[in-house]
Structure 1
Amino acid sequence: MTPLLATGLTSSAIVALIVLIGWVRLNPFITLFVVSIGLAMITGMPAPAAISSFEAGMGHVLGHVAGVIAMGTMLGKILAETGGADQIALTISRIAGKKRLSWAMMVIGLLVGLPVFFEVGFVLLIPLAMILSRRNDIALTRLAFPMAAALSVTHAMVPPHPATLLACTAYHANTARTLFWGIVIGTPIAAIAGPVYTRLIVPCLGHVEPSPLEDQFTHARESKKLPSFLLSSFTLLAPVALMLGGAMADFIWSQGSWIYDLLHFLGNMDIALLVATLLSFWLLGSVCGFSRETILRFSNECLAPTATIMLLIGAGGGFGRELIDSGLSHAITDMALNVHVPLIVLAWLLALLVRVATGSATVATTTASGIVGPILATSHSVSPELLVIVTGAGSVGLSLMNDAGFWQMKEYLGMNLKQTLKSWTAIESLIAVLGLMICWPLSWFIH
């Protein structure tokens, strides 16, 4: 297959995703399934092989992330129900003071966003933003936008989020170094897209109607007895600390020693989240007086909303596998190497295109890294860690009506469609552009 034909077929598949999801309003999972199978058969793959390829890709991806999603969601649920997330946020806010609340909310978003998905982190923290907005007589949007921008940055660029970890696997990137660069690059991006841009855009939005949920959240949370800040922070940051401990073991202890093996075991992403989740059940649950039956109910009921996330992640993996097994990815790889397409730009553009098509940053990262990974394996021209971060940056650009976060922002903040496009879509696009603008020059010096 010629590179030109492969590029045309792949581009047509992405356009088909955009049309079917954005205009026809077909379910994203069904769309990814249909387009993946159709694309494989057009390239000449037999129908049984096309189906097997999709299933293999879906199973491979879910095998890596299903446990992470489940345990991360449970951890977020316990932090929400016990008030641990509120305690972290309220303590930092008291330290920051009224004039720096938007910056405090950015810091809170960066911390709380580490172990949870954007949608979960937003639900955890929006009640706090409403409480602080009412207590300090500040527009809710001034606090919610910096918080949401920080959550989006951590979701896209910083391990241990499943999509970032999958990109680390695809690019053979070092997880600890990716975490380091994700924080170094992501923090100024969150600052510009969050507090700085919020200061400019909020006056341009006009009047925003208060959300009907505001009264419920403010009354419900003000009377809750919260666990200590130290205990809440310890539980929240435990998985990150364990993962960093596993990475540091390579530099401190010799391979094969018992402590080396123990730290690597505890630093595994699944084990780290398992330990943190069990700690939250025991520590936070006992402090708040929850019974074992209540903890069980919380951990069971929070899993239902993850079904759609898992299906979309799996479908994105199936789509990427079809591109590889059909030979399209190899042909695109040859073309990119021949015409010297900057790999860092290619990864960013692919992630952005899939993001527009599916509305999911996780699917965008998974799909783009599946395409670009084989190119990196043959060229070694870019730092794998920077490639992970720039792929994540592209995956959050252009949040539109097929993005769950778009509707969360609109409904919780009481904005209309125009206000949401002007504010949230612009914030997400700013994160994407800044990610490329920072990572591309850095890639000239870091390999």
Structure 2
Amino acid sequence: MVILILLLCIVTLIVLITWAKLNTFLSFLVISLMAALLLGLPLDHIVPSINKGLGDMLGSLVIVIALGSMLGKLVGVSGAAQKIATSMRNAFGEKYITWAMCLTGFIVGIPLFYNVGFFLLIPIIFSVSNRYKLPLVYVGIPMLASLSVMHGFLPPHPSPMALQIQFHADIVKVFVYGIVVAVPAIVISGPLFARTLRGMKTQSVIAMSVQDINDDKLPGLWNSILSSLLPVILIGASSLVVKFAGDNVTVKSIAGFLGDANIAMMETIAIATYTLGIRQGMKLTGVMNVYVEAIREVSMILLIIGSAGILKQIFLDSGANGQIATILQGLNLPPLLLGWIIAAILRLCLGSATVAGLTAAGIIYPLMRQTGADPNLMVLAVGAGSLFCSHVNDTSFWVTKEYFGLSMRQTFLSWSLMETLVSVIGLIGVLILNTIV
């Protein structure tokens, strides 16, 4: 009966989002109430469950995601992303241009959300394509592969951060394992896969120029790279200090505090406000306006993440989680593989990678607890599944099609196949890591 209720809730969620076009946040609220009533949760327990689910999820995420969006916005507005991209292009030259695009997406993709990164870097793709007379899709796919992998696999992006909180994973291990899995996924689905697209001729009706900011007004290359990667550097350095501090409790305590994800993001924003803002001639009020705009862009993502936490809490408080775990165990599939499959199916149905990942997390969480599956690898397995085969119900599919001037068939053979490769290679990497660690 519980599985039937779960399936009914998922189908209804899909219908509300895809057919009725209801806002995703409102859809999750409706489904959460529906699940609570069908699972027999007492009426006086429903509102406390909603409050707890929303609070527990957002309480650990709001600071990281909000500050992460601020950093990403400043990296774009200041010209740091443009500086990294043009420097990579000039350093690699035409022969290795796809690797330059790939590396640019990798570096810039750490602080930038996918959609922001796409619209920020698409002029670079047009510029490189025009300069070397290469097909847009051949130049662009390596960069998009990097951006997609960063968005789906690595903190501080919203979905991996939310999954890390839901599964009680270690953020440092998630990042380290994520890099190990991400590199082969990016290389194979980016520059190597792009070789098959070199003959794909396209005709984009969009004209763009990369020269949004004059070169003399751009920040320096190392300033741009270090400012973008500072959260990773701070958290990683703190982890190393804690590991090698021995019995020095004071040093461990200070390093642990400074390397906490929230504190590291606060430190980064304080430094980047100067290095990418004031030092580049921006007024403090101008930098603050950039941050305000960044929060507007991420507000709905925060609400969606919080509402997914509500659905998970309803499953926990109703006792359905234990029954779901027992049933899933009967499928005799490895938990990591099952998490990937559930996320991939939801991705195919819903389109949104974030929604697919968070919904899958609520389903697979009880099984993960019972089987003792590695929570750090489960974050990556679900993240990989959530990227599977983007198609017509995903806005990124249409954005890629229109900007690159692709036909439907070409979009499936380039963008959709690239996302599928990222997902499958990510799963393979997770399963291999699981046998090692």
Q: TM-score surpassing 0.5?
A: yes
Matched, 1:410 2:406: no
Q: Give me the identity figure in percent.
A: 33
TM-score, normalized by length of structure 1?
A: 0.90
Summarize the alignment of residues 59-98 of structure 1 with structure 2, pairs less than 5 Å apart.
59-98=55-94
Structure 2 CA distance for partners of 1:203 and 1:10, relative to 1, 3 Å: farther
Query: Matched residues in 2 for 1:93 and 1:144: separation?
Result: 13
Residue matched to 1:388:
379
Q: Is the 8 A contact 1:55 1:318 kept in 2?
A: yes
Larger mean CA deviation between 119-128 and 42-51 belongs to 42-51
Query: Matched residues in 2 for 1:319 and 1:119: separation?
Result: 26
Matched, 1:196 2:196: no
Matched, 1:349 2:341: yes
Matched, 1:446 2:411: no
Structure 2 CA distance for partners of 1:360 and 1:274, relative to 1, 3 Å: farther
Counterpart among 136, 147, 155 of residue 132 in structure 2 = 136
Using the TM superposition, give the Cα deviation of residue 400 of structure 1 relative to its aligned residue in structure 2, in angstroms.
3.4
Counterpart among 360, 368, 378 of residue 376 in structure 1 = 368
**Any idea what SS the aligned residue of 1:302 has?**
helix
Query: Matched residues in 2 for 1:246 and 1:368: separation?
Result: 32
Larger mean CA deviation between 85-94 and 357-366 belongs to 357-366
Matched, 1:303 2:301: no
Using the TM superposition, give the Cα deviation of residue 83 of structure 1 relative to its aligned residue in structure 2, in angstroms.
0.9
Q: Is the 8 A contact 1:253 1:260 kept in 2?
A: yes
Specify the code of the residue in structure 2 equivalent to 1:446.
I
Residues 300-357 of structure 1 show CA distances to partners (whole Å, capped at 9, x for unaligned) of 1222121221121122222222222222222111123344331011111222233344
Residues 383-409 of structure 1 show CA distances to partners (whole Å, capped at 9, x for unaligned) of 333222111100111323443433432
Q: Is the 8 A contact 2:57 2:166 kept in 1?
A: no
Residue matched to 1:321:
313
Larger mean CA deviation between 420-429 and 73-82 belongs to 420-429
TM-score, normalized by length of structure 2?
A: 0.92
Counterpart among 205, 208, 232 of residue 210 in structure 1 = 205
Specify the code of the residue in structure 1 equivalent to 2:425.
L
Using the TM superposition, give the Cα deviation of residue 249 of structure 1 relative to its aligned residue in structure 2, in angstroms.
2.8
Larger mean CA deviation between 10-19 and 267-276 belongs to 10-19
Query: Matched residues in 1 for 2:318 and 2:10: separation?
Result: 16
Using the TM superposition, give the Cα deviation of residue 151 of structure 1 relative to its aligned residue in structure 2, in angstroms.
1.0
Q: Is the 8 A contact 1:324 1:371 kept in 2?
A: no
Q: Is the 8 A contact 2:24 2:304 kept in 1?
A: yes
Structure 2 CA distance for partners of 1:75 and 1:335, relative to 1, 3 Å: same
Matched, 1:424 2:415: yes
Using the TM superposition, give the Cα deviation of residue 98 of structure 1 relative to its aligned residue in structure 2, in angstroms.
0.8
Residue matched to 2:389:
398
Query: Matched residues in 1 for 2:6 and 2:327: separation?
Result: 13
Structure 2 CA distance for partners of 1:44 and 1:384, relative to 1, 3 Å: closer
Structure 2: state its 5+ residue gaps: none
Residue matched to 1:186:
182
Larger mean CA deviation between 101-110 and 49-58 belongs to 49-58
**Any idea what SS the aligned residue of 1:307 has?**
helix
Query: Matched residues in 2 for 1:255 and 1:397: separation?
Result: 45
Query: Matched residues in 1 for 2:106 and 2:400: separation?
Result: 18
Query: Matched residues in 2 for 1:73 and 1:46: separation?
Result: 38
Structure 1: state its 5+ residue gaps: none
Using the TM superposition, give the Cα deviation of residue 30 of structure 1 relative to its aligned residue in structure 2, in angstroms.
2.0
Q: Is the 8 A contact 2:202 2:405 kept in 1?
A: no
Using the TM superposition, give the Cα deviation of residue 266 of structure 1 relative to its aligned residue in structure 2, in angstroms.
1.6
Query: Matched residues in 1 for 2:180 and 2:174: separation?
Result: 10
Matched, 1:57 2:49: no
Matched, 1:249 2:241: yes
Counterpart among 102, 109, 118 of residue 105 in structure 2 = 109
Query: Matched residues in 2 for 1:31 and 1:107: separation?
Result: 37
Query: Matched residues in 2 for 1:355 and 1:50: separation?
Result: 28
Q: CA RMSD in A?
A: 2.3
Query: Matched residues in 2 for 1:257 and 1:16: separation?
Result: 52
Q: Is the 8 A contact 2:397 2:415 kept in 1?
A: yes
**Any idea what SS the aligned residue of 2:61 has?**
helix
Count, aligned residues: 437
**Any idea what SS the aligned residue of 2:202 has?**
coil
Q: Is the 8 A contact 1:62 1:310 kept in 2?
A: yes
Residue matched to 1:262:
254
Specify the code of the residue in structure 2 equivalent to 1:21.
I
Query: Matched residues in 2 for 1:169 and 1:191: separation?
Result: 29
Specify the code of the residue in structure 2 equivalent to 1:188.
P
Structure 2 CA distance for partners of 1:13 and 1:357, relative to 1, 3 Å: farther
Query: Matched residues in 2 for 1:432 and 1:184: separation?
Result: 14
Using the TM superposition, give the Cα deviation of residue 163 of structure 1 relative to its aligned residue in structure 2, in angstroms.
2.4
Query: Matched residues in 1 for 2:369 and 2:76: separation?
Result: 42
Structure 2 CA distance for partners of 1:365 and 1:87, relative to 1, 3 Å: same
Query: Matched residues in 2 for 1:355 and 1:270: separation?
Result: 29
**Any idea what SS the aligned residue of 2:400 has?**
helix
Specify the code of the residue in structure 2 equivalent to 1:278.
A
Using the TM superposition, give the Cα deviation of residue 255 of structure 1 relative to its aligned residue in structure 2, in angstroms.
5.7
Q: Is the 8 A contact 1:101 1:143 kept in 2?
A: yes
Query: Matched residues in 1 for 2:136 and 2:332: separation?
Result: 47
Residue matched to 1:119:
115
Using the TM superposition, give the Cα deviation of residue 412 of structure 1 relative to its aligned residue in structure 2, in angstroms.
3.4
Structure 2 CA distance for partners of 1:401 and 1:210, relative to 1, 3 Å: same
Residue matched to 1:293:
285
Query: Matched residues in 1 for 2:36 and 2:396: separation?
Result: 31
Counterpart among 26, 39, 47 of residue 30 in structure 1 = 26
**Any idea what SS the aligned residue of 1:230 has?**
helix
Q: Is the 8 A contact 2:137 2:414 kept in 1?
A: no
**Any idea what SS the aligned residue of 1:120 has?**
helix
